[in-house]
């Protein structure tokens, strides 16, 4: 009979792992193995203090309450001054756009949280899809509402669907969320631009808009919204409008 060193506590994560020389091997939590089976002979287990136990906590280094000793994320990660940008492709396009911002991968948590202060001063988002970025197809621009200083938003030819609310982006001047006829999956059904008094250009072609209210966008110069499902469009108060497509 042989003596094997290892963890003998069934509650431990590494219960049943035996030290053979300088490495550990598992015998399926069974300390008594038939002579000649695998690398083990029948023997006696001796606990060597190597047991590892499950430690719940925050496992994402991004957060202030990160626990380096945690082995299981318990959902406790928190940041009181953070906002979330959930679409990973949207986040990556922001990171790639070094011309217009200085965001880097480590600014974001694994789930897309970022300190709100890091978004201050960003005036332009250029996230149009193209032949070089097809693998980064954005499905939602949720989180754009936290860019308080945003003036330009370009995200055409992506896969954005549903409703888009831009009412918090009060400094917007130029918005392009159009698709390309027959080639992209842009399927925006509604966009809220109420109160955007500085908005001059709004491009929404090739979507699925059911209605479009631009009554408070008196600064509009260009409005492109053909190839949607609009039954009517009132532009009677837009005295600066020179282009309507």
**Tell me: the pLDDT tens digits for 28-79?**
444 443 333 344 444 556 777 878 888 999 998 888 889 999 989 998 988 8
Residues of the chain below pLDDT 50: 1, 20-24, 27-42
Which residues have a Cβ under 8 Å from the Cβ of 170 and sit 6 or more positions away?
Answer: 195, 196, 197, 198
Whole-number pLDDT of residue 181? 64
CA pair distance 147, 172, nearest whole angstrom: 10
237 touches 217 (CB < 8 A): no
pTM of the model: 0.73
Burial class (CB in 10 A: 0-12, 13-18, 19+), 168: middle
- Other C-beta atoms lying within 10 Å of the C-beta of residue 208: 16
Helix (H, G, I), strand (E, B) or coil at 161: strand
Give the C-alpha distances (Å, rounded to integers) separating 121 from 65, 89, 167, 169.
27, 22, 18, 13
CA pair distance 136, 95, nearest whole angstrom: 12
Give the C-alpha distances (Å, rounded to integers) separating 69 from 10, 34, 46, 130.
20, 37, 26, 43
Whole-number pLDDT of residue 40? 46
Give the C-alpha distances (Å, rounded to integers) separating 241 from 95, 176, 202.
35, 17, 11
Whole-number pLDDT of residue 54? 86
Nearest to 45 by CA among 84, 4, 74: 4
Query: Exposure string (b/e) for 86-103, b if CB count within 10 Å is 16 or more?
Result: ebebbbbbbbebeeebeb
Whole-number pLDDT of residue 110? 87
Whole-number pLDDT of residue 23? 44
* Helix (H) or strand (E) run with residue 189 in it: strand 187-192
CA pair distance 84, 114, nearest whole angstrom: 6
Whole-number pLDDT of residue 43? 55
């Amino acid at each position: 009979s042989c003596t094997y060193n290892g963890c003998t506590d069934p509650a431990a994560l590494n219960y049943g792992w035996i030290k053979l020389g300088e490495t550990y091997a598992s015998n399926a939590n069974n300390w008594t193995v038939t002579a000649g089976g695998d690398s083990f002979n029948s023997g006696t287990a001796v606990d060597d203090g190597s047991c590892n136990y499950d430690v719940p906590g925050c496992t994402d280094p991004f957060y202030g309450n990160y626990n380096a000793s945690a082995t299981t994320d318990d959902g406790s990660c928190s940041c009181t001054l953070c906002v979330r940008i959930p679409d990973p492709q949207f986040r990556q396009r922001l990171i790639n756009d070094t011309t217009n911002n200085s965001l880097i991968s480590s600014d974001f948590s694994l789930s897309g949280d970022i300190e709100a202060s890091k978004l201050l001063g960003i005036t332009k988002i250029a996230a149009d899809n193209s032949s070089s970025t097809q693998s980064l197809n954005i499905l939602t621009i949720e989180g754009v509402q936290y860019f308080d200083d945003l003036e330009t938003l370009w995200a055409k030819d992506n896969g954005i669907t549903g409703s888009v609310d831009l009412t918090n982006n009060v400094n917007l001047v130029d918005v392009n969320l159009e698709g390309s006829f027959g080639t992209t999956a842009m399927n925006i059904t509604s966009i809220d631009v109420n109160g955007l008094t500085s908005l001059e250009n709004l491009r929404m072609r090739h979507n699925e808009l059911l209605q479009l209210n631009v009554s408070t966008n008196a600064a509009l110069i260009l409005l492109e919204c053909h190839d949607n499902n609009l039954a009517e469009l009132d532009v009677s108060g837009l005295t600066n409008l020179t282009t309507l497509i």
